[in-house]
């Protein structure tokens, strides 16, 4: 006899209390395997595919795409042990007949017994969530053989829904956006070679395959073949609406013609954090112009010596960690309840990155222990993950100090807003050729404006000025940094 189990939205970590349903990966009546992704949700931190710890037949879904659900709310119910035996001719016996309104209300109360006989459960634990007692081996429920639905495992690996044949093994893809892009253009990810670390398939790999006209797989291949394959995904006729563009599901138009876009997901999280920063932190900003000619020359010499290339942001990060060692007050947070300043022993360095989904701040953990070379590699990895939507909640939280390189937008200066609950942020403007007095003579030099916004509760202007002056000295004379090594 089938046992109906309820799968609730798990705690996705870092204090997240809700998530928005972006796309359902299964329908009512589908057969799902243990730990198969069943829904794609967007939290305030990242896009996540949520696996179901039960194997069986989906009997109900709760919430339409675009709906926000709190942690602990029901996602779906699964009838465990409802698969049809081999040779049975009636696939309808595999599961109860789906109710027409099953997507909005349960057909019957789910079983509440937390642990006793969940043989179809994996026992795997998400963040703050488990399925009860673990089992010795994982039992995968196979689809009924005579005309029953096919479990959509091919969909999550980039193939078309209902594509014949089993998936031979896992595909080196971690980004739901990459999977979606491949699926919408009918690409079989198993035919692609990833350019990322350990063969990881990145968004650029899928876009290149689209441009080169890699043969599509499944039913969607015919549709994709008729679309233009020139340019990136946003130029293809079957591509989704770019992130940030108001759609019918995310925006509403008033009678006067104004468009209202909900503050959700990443944009909503950024809005809340910036508002809280302005309300709670009495900030102040100081800035200085620095001659970056010698720093650029030092970077060129490093990269000319061979080996991995070192980015400019990595050099600024290395300078910042050295400056924070001299001025630890700026690597702190304020405990308002205890009225204490908490000096933090590790430097977890955040950096602002602009993506299609909005502004994100990935965090390089233990940056004070990293070399310029390792910092370059980590910045590159996190930036690519941010653009593909593959950043995890852990990679987006826990920062103690933030770098904001707004110079990439071609602007000279800015007054950054502190990333709450941190105590300071360093802003870096563009490096541009300007007239500068060098060794007593007027010369054309590469000049950058640096700005430091700091929490005036943790230090005064003397400390902030000392920090910023040390950073500027290292920029103008990179040899100064050697004293801190």
* Residues carrying an active site annotation: 456
Residue linked to tokens 């290149």: 208
Rounded to 5 degrees, φ, ψ at 345 are: -75, -30
Rounded to 5 degrees, φ, ψ at 265 are: 55, -135
Give the C-alpha separation, 467 to 359, whole Å. 26
Six-digit token string for 159: 């193939």
User: Which residues, in sequence order, are bridge partners of residue 335?
Assistant: 340
Task: Please tell me the number of Cα atoms within 13 Å of 30 on its side-chain side.
Answer: 24
User: Which residues, in sequence order, are bridge partners of residue 57?
Assistant: 31, 79
- List, in sequence order, the alpha helices (H) in 112-202: 153-156, 176-184
Give the C-alpha separation, 25 to 37, whole Å. 7
Rounded to 5 degrees, φ, ψ at 189 are: -60, -20
Give the C-alpha separation, 334 to 269, whole Å. 21
Q: Name the E strands within 210-339.
A: 252-253, 259-260, 283-291, 332-335
User: Going by C-beta distance under 8 Å and a sequence separation of 6 or more, which residues neighbour residue 458?
Assistant: 329, 330, 332, 334, 341, 423, 424
Integer-rounded Cα radius of gyration of the chain? 26
| H or E element that contains 304 | helix 293-304
Six-digit token string for 122: 């994996």
- Closest to 203 (Cα-Cα) out of 172, 182, 229, 220: 182
Q: CB of 448 within 8 A of CB of 358?
A: no
Question: What SS3 state is found at 326?
Answer: helix
Strand order through the sheet with 47-52: 47-52, 36-42, 18-24, 68-70
Question: What SS3 state is found at 381?
Answer: helix
Give the C-alpha separation, 173 to 21, whole Å. 21
């Amino acid at each position: 006899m089938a046992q109906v189990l309820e799968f609730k939205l798990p705690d996705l970590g870092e204090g997240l209390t809700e998530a928005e349903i972006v796309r359902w990966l299964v329908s009512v009546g589908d057969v799902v395997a243990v730990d198969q992704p069943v829904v794609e949700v967007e939290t305030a931190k990242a896009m996540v595919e949520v696996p179901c710890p039960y194997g069986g037949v989906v009997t109900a879904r709760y919430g339409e795409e675009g709906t926000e659900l709190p942690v602990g709310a029901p996602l779906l119910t699964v009838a465990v042990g409802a698969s049809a035996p081999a040779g049975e001719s009636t696939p309808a016996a595999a599961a109860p007949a789906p109710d027409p309104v099953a997507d909005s209300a349960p057909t019957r109360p789910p079983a509440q017994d937390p642990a006793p006989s969940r043989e179809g459960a994996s026992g795997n634990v998400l963040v703050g969530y488990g399925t009860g007692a673990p089992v010795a081996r994982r039992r995968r429920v196979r689809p009924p053989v005579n005309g029953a639905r096919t479990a959509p495992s091919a969909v999550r690996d980039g193939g078309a829904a209902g594509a014949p044949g089993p998936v031979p093994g896992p595909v080196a893809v971690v980004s739901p956006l990459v999977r979606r892009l491949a699926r919408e253009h009918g690409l079989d990810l198993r035919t692609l070679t990833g350019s990322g670390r350990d063969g990881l398939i990145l968004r650029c790999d899928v876009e290149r395959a689209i441009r080169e006209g890699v043969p599509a797989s499944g039913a969607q291949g015919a549709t994709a073949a008729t679309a233009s394959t020139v340019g990136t995904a946003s130029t293809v006729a079957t591509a989704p609406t770019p992130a940030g563009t108001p759609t019918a599901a995310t925006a509403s138009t008033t009678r006067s013609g104004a468009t209202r876009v909900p503050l959700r997901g990443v944009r909503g999280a950024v809005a809340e954090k910036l508002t809280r920063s302005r309300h709670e932190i009495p900030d102040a900003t100081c800035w200085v112009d620095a001659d970056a000619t010698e720093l650029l020359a030092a970077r060129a010499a490093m990269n000319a010596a061979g080996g991995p290339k070192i980015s400019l942001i990595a050099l600024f990060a290395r300078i910042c960690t050295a400056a924070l060692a001299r001025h630890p007050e700026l690597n702190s947070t304020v405990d308002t309840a205890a009225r204490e300043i908490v000096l933090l022993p590790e430097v977890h360095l955040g950096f602002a990155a602009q993506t299609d989904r909005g502004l994100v701040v990935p965090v390089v953990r233990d940056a004070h222990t990293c070399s310029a070379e390792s910092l370059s590699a980590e910045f590159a990895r996190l930036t690519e993950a941010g653009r593909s939507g593959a950043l995890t909640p852990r990679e987006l939280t826990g920062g103690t100090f933030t770098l904001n390189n707004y110079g990439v937008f071609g602007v000279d200066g800015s007054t950054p807003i502190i990333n709450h609950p941190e105590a300071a942020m360093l802003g870096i403007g563009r490096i541009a050729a300007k007239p500068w007095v060098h060794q007593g003579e007027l010369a054309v030099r590469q000049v950058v404006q640096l700005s430091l916004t700091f929490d005036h509760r943790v230090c005064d202007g003397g400390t902030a000025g000392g920090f910023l002056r040390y950073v500027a000295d290292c920029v103008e004379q990179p040899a100064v940094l050697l004293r801190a090594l």
